[in-house]
Structures are given as C-alpha cells and as structure tokens.
Amino acid sequence: MLSSGDENKRKEAYAWAKIAADSGLAEGCMLVGVCHYEGIGVSRDVSKAQEWFERSYQKGCKRVLNALAYACMEGWDGRKDEKKAWEYVELGVAESVPGALGTMAAFYVEGAGVPVDLSKAKALLQKEIELYPDSGLALYNLAAVEMSSNAQSGGEVERLLLAAADRKYTSAYFSLARLYLYGEGVARDERKAAMYMHKAVDAGVIGAFCELANMYAEGVGVSRDLDKARLLYQQAIKHDPDNGLPYYEYAAFMLQYESAEMDVPAFDALLKKAAECGHLGAMNGLASEYLDDTGVLPQNLAEFARWSMAAADAGDSHAMLNAGAICLNGIGVEPDVDKAVLYTQKAVEANIPEAYGRMAELYKQGIGVDLNIDKAIDLYRMALQAEPEKGRYYRELALLMMLKSSFDEKEIEALLLKAVELDSQD
C-alpha cells in the first residue's frame, strides 16, 4: 500500500502497520516509522519516526537500515548525520538487505556524503535488479539515472519504466506520460503521453489527474474538453482530499478558463483549501490576490499578511522576505520588529539577494538589532556579490563606509561612480 501511487491506500497503510507494530512485528514498527516520517495517515513526527525505526531494528528487522540511512542523511528535524547514514547503508549492503544497493545508489546520485557519481549509481542499481528482478522501484530508479546521465536514452528509459509498471510500480506510468509529453530523450508524442496519463489516473497517481486535466483543458493529445478537465480535478480532490495540489490546479483552471463567469466564492474556497493543505503556491496566490485591488478577490491586507506569513512559516524563502517587510511596516498586522528581524534573517540564510540589503538597513539604523555599521557594510558587500547590477547597493555601501573613522577614498569614489553609471542605465 505504501509503495502504490494511490493516496487512499497509502493512508490506509498506517492503520495496518500500527496493528502489526502493536502485535510486536518488527517490520510493522518500521512501517509505522515510515508513516510518521512522511506524514502518511498520521501527522509528521520525526522524533516518533526515529523511535519506531530504532525499535524495529532492535526487534531484528534489517530492512529498516534503509529507512535509518535516509533519515540520517536528510536529518532528524535538521540534525543531519552523513557519517551515520553511510554506516547504516554499508551495513545494509553487507547484510544483503533488499533496497540497500538502491539506497547507496541514491546517495551517489544526490552527492550525499560523497561526490556525485552516476556511473556508480547505475552499477549499484543494475546489481540490485539482478538480485531482485521483481523490484519495480529499482527499475524506476535506474530509469531516472539513465535519464540524468544520457539525454538520448529515451528508448531505454521507456523500457525500464514499462518494466517497473509491469511490476506494480504504478508511478512509472506517470513518468512515461511526462517522457512523451515533454519529449525527454524521445520524440514528443502527445497521444502516447495521453495514453500513459490515463493509465496513471487508473492507477490512482494523484499528479496524473491534474496533468491529464490540463491536457483536456488545452487539447493536448486529446480532444479539448473543459467538462472532462473539470471532472478530473473533482475526482482528484475526492481521491485525495488532504492534498493541496488538485485544489490549487482547479482554482488555476477556473481563473484561466472561467474568468468571465467565474464562481468567485468557489474559486476562493479552492485556493484557501489548497493553502490550508500546505500548498505553497496557493498561500502565495492568496497573498497576491488579497494585495492586488484589481484581482478576483477584494483587497484585504490582513489576509495578505496572514497568507504571506503562512508561506514564510512553511519554508518559502521569498515569502520570508515579504513577511519581514509586513511585520516591520505593520501591513495588515500590528508592527512587530522582532518578527521582522527573524523573517529577514531567515531570508538572508536562504540566500535571497534582496534580503542582504534589508538586513543591512536594520543594522545601519539599529532596528530590532544593535546598531552595527560593520555588519551593515558586510551585508551590502554580500548584496553586491549577489546583484552587482543594483546601483543602490554601491551607493549605500559608499555612504556607510564614510561613517567609519577611517576609509579608503578611492574605493568610495569607485563605488559612487559605479552607482551613477548603473543609475543612468536604469
């Protein structure tokens, strides 16, 4: 159930895994850990996942070594341990654990703790397939490596994906559809893409519902049919009501194809449901709608602030920058300098170029932080490195340097001349 493309089956899997775990089965403990780690059928809780994985290993389940390796590599709530991850995966390979070679291959593909090496990854997956010829996942992963290492390998990729689908790895149909839809290493074939997309929908792959709906909306590989597109979005929502993607895609469909006579409350409800399900695009979309007084929804700065900050809290780095300005200037919320500093600093850590200048201004004026001209100068230098075409940064850096007790006049002159040059081009 967990390895199927059917979200309903994946959620039901947790109930069965819990029964198995509560009856003392080691593999049941591992599957409960997977559900907690990925948030399948239960709230995501990395601490509980770690607890269940370790309990599974203590009970003698060697297959859990793969899960432990992945979790250590990705990090237990940010606590990444590449050395431990490799210990687990190497132990799994030594113990001939099914999937361990695939896990090691994934590490080589991602450059996780080692340099990227697609040749090694390919060799490991080929060995995994020799040992476990019925592994649809290994075939699927080998197809992905083939695609990454050779742009002209479409024929071989198709063969591998078909073999994976034959072995019940139904997400392979979706990949096949996209292979032909976008002509990735094969001649673009919209009709073939539509055929595989229908197979993926029949298998319950949630992304395929939305992709096929888009194809019907645009008449790509099928006859244009807005009613079929609409029905597919509705089926996707019914199939997986906790997934934000179909709500968001359906709202986008309404905006594009029904704008003249759109049901605005329905559009609003879809976008909000998508946002509540954690879809970042929907959060940012709502924020944009509520900011723009010419949009579909009426301007509402409180809602603009709410969804901008929700997107920032969910990890959207550009939204962090917006949230910093919202809190600093009190746009739709009471001003909160501490939050403004927190969000802006997070945007700096995410390497958003504009955030360097924003944070420099806070240090320059001592807003929410201790006044510190040296830090402001360092941040403007970082801003210049990221966006060397912005004249404002040269000017601000020159002015800050002149506040120092000693400064290099030639450097300041060069900075101001560069600012004048860029400003005149702007």
Kindly give the residue spans of alpha helices, DSSP state H, lying in 335-390. Answer: 337-349, 353-365, 373-386
Residue 408: how many CB atoms within 10 A of its CB? 11
Query: pLDDT per residue over 179-200, tens digit each?
Result: 999 988 888 999 999 999 999 9
Q: Tokens 């040059």 correspond to what residue? A: 421
Residue 229 has pLDDT above 80, yes or no: yes
Confidence (pTM):
0.75
Please tell me the distance from the alpha carbon of residue 130 to that of residue 96, in angstroms, as a whole number: 13
Residue 405: its pLDDT value, please?
78
- Residue 279, SS3 per DSSP: coil
Please tell me the distance from the alpha carbon of residue 16 to that of residue 18, in angstroms, as a whole number: 5
Do residues 401 and 412 make contact, with C-beta atoms less than 8 angstroms apart?
A: yes
Label residue 150 by pLDDT band (50, 70, 90): confident
Query: pLDDT per residue over 334-385, tens digit each?
Result: 999 999 999 999 999 989 989 999 999 999 999 999 999 999 999 999 999 9
Q: Which of 310, 313, 319, 236 is nearest to 270 (CA)?
A: 236
Do residues 135 and 129 make contact, with C-beta atoms less than 8 angstroms apart?
A: yes
Q: Which of 93, 86, 63, 89 is nearest to 2 (CA)?
A: 63
The β-bridge partners of 6 are: 205
Label residue 5 by pLDDT band (50, 70, 90): low
Q: Of 3.40.50.300, 2.40.50.140, 1.25.40.10, 1.10.1040.10, which CATH number belongs to 370-426?
A: 1.25.40.10
Least confident piece of the model among 151-160, 179-188, 227-236: 151-160
Please tell me the distance from the alpha carbon of residue 151 to that of residue 166, in angstroms, as a whole number: 24
Domain ranges of the chain: 370-426
Label residue 152 by pLDDT band (50, 70, 90): low
Higher pLDDT residue, 164 or 261? 164
Residue 292 CA: distances (Å) to CA of 195, 254, 257, 287, 289: 41, 18, 20, 9, 5
Phi and psi for 205 in degrees, rounded to 5? -75, 115
Residue 4: its pLDDT value, please?
65
Q: Which of 173, 112, 113, 119 is nearest to 142 (CA)?
A: 119
Helix, strand, coil percent values for the chain (each to nearest 5) = 70, 0, 25
Residue 17 CA: distances (Å) to CA of 30, 209, 240: 8, 28, 20
